[in-house]
Homo-oligomer: A and B are copies of this chain.
């Protein structure tokens, strides 16, 4: 099994920089590519005085890369056409000719089978989904599609482990991976309860937090994700599942008022001191036995 040593990270946005930096810090040779000179320049500035600086090479043009990477991780915009065109560009730049190269897409919503449908390299193609670090999650979803060669997922799993992250390997392609599926179901149920007037958003969060002993409830999480982001995701889901429009209408009300959650200082809660923070972990205590 070919070891991964050289990595090409495509896209120098938040995610691309995070992955490039982490891989470089673990001793991988990293190429960071972006079509935007400005983005590349910003990344270079971010890294320049850090210990990883010497492990990262910046490139504006895919054809200028003179080594053959073992692993390519694409982090460009969440758009099917753009991701397909990128795959074609990688092919044109002769970066996919070695039959052990792996190409990954860091996508939240798209399916690797759909992106690689017209590619001759669909057997080397796999989704690898990093989570945003602000949620503190170490999970990386590795999701092969039906045509992905069977050696790819185990090689990626080893790679993720070497980054000190936690691989979750899916057995088959599934929209929204695992966690986001469960989270979406939880959010839908919560929004329905609020819309039906069963309880206030705050009371729903309280019920969730006190029962699970988590420090945040569904509406606090929506404020953290950003109500505009949540609206975009819900709208996307509503396209294939029209039942979801109730969630779109609900979130739109807040977004139209400029209430986007933490980033605007108000969403379901007011920040920086949302009322749910009063339910701290100290509050959590087991019901003592009847005879004490």
In whole angstroms, what is the CA distance A31 to B156 when docked?
64
Say if the beta carbon of A112 comes within 8 Å of chain B.
no
Bits for A141-174, please: 1 = Cβ < 8 Å to B, else 0. Answer: 1000000000000000000000001101111101
A205: nearest chain-B partner, CB-CB? B178
Say if the beta carbon of A35 comes within 8 Å of chain B.
no
Say if the beta carbon of A237 comes within 8 Å of chain B.
no
In whole angstroms, what is the CA distance A52 to B141 when docked?
53
Instruction: State which residues 272-292 of A face B: CB under 8 Å.
Output: 283-292
In whole angstroms, what is the CA distance A179 to B211 when docked?
7
Q: Given A17-B290, A199-B170, A287-B18, are A138 and B210 also a contact pair (CB < 8 Å)?
A: yes
Q: Which of A186-194, A224-232, A259-267 contacts B (4 or more CB under 8 A)?
A: A186-194
Bits for A122-136, please: 1 = Cβ < 8 Å to B, else 0. Answer: 000000000101011
A190:B198 contact, CB within 8 angstroms: no
Q: Given A139-B207, A181-B189, A188-B185, are A290 and B170 also a contact pair (CB < 8 Å)?
A: no
A287:B20 contact, CB within 8 angstroms: no
A174:B186 contact, CB within 8 angstroms: no
Instruction: State which residues 190-208 of A face B: CB under 8 Å.
Output: 190, 192-193, 196-200, 203-204, 206-208
Chain B residues with CB under 8 Å of A165's CB are 287
Out of B133, B179, B183, B193, which one reaches A287, CB within 8 Å?
B133
Chain B residues with CB under 8 Å of A286's CB are 133, 136, 138
Chain B residues with CB under 8 Å of A166's CB are 206, 210, 283
B208:A179 contact, CB within 8 angstroms: yes
Q: Given A184-B189, A203-B169, are A137 and B211 also a contact pair (CB < 8 Å)?
A: yes
Out of B46, B178, B287, which one reaches A203, CB within 8 Å?
B178
Out of B17, B138, B188, which one reaches A285, CB within 8 Å?
B138
A20:B290 contact, CB within 8 angstroms: yes
Say if the beta carbon of A93 comes within 8 Å of chain B.
no
A174: nearest chain-B partner, CB-CB? B198
Say if the beta carbon of A42 comes within 8 Å of chain B.
no
B178:A199 contact, CB within 8 angstroms: yes
Chain B residues with CB under 8 Å of A193's CB are 174, 178, 181-182
17 pairs across A/B with beta carbons < 8 Å? A22-B288, A51-B292, A133-B289, A137-B210, A137-B211, A138-B284, A166-B206, A168-B199, A168-B203, A172-B196, A174-B193, A174-B196, A178-B193, A181-B192, A182-B218, A184-B189, A186-B189
Given contacts A52-B291, A138-B284, A168-B210, 8 further A-B contacts (CB under 8 A): A136-B213, A138-B210, A171-B200, A174-B193, A178-B207, A182-B186, A185-B185, A185-B186
Across the A-B interface, the 4 shortest Cβ-Cβ residue pairs: A21-B290, A185-B189, A133-B287, A178-B207
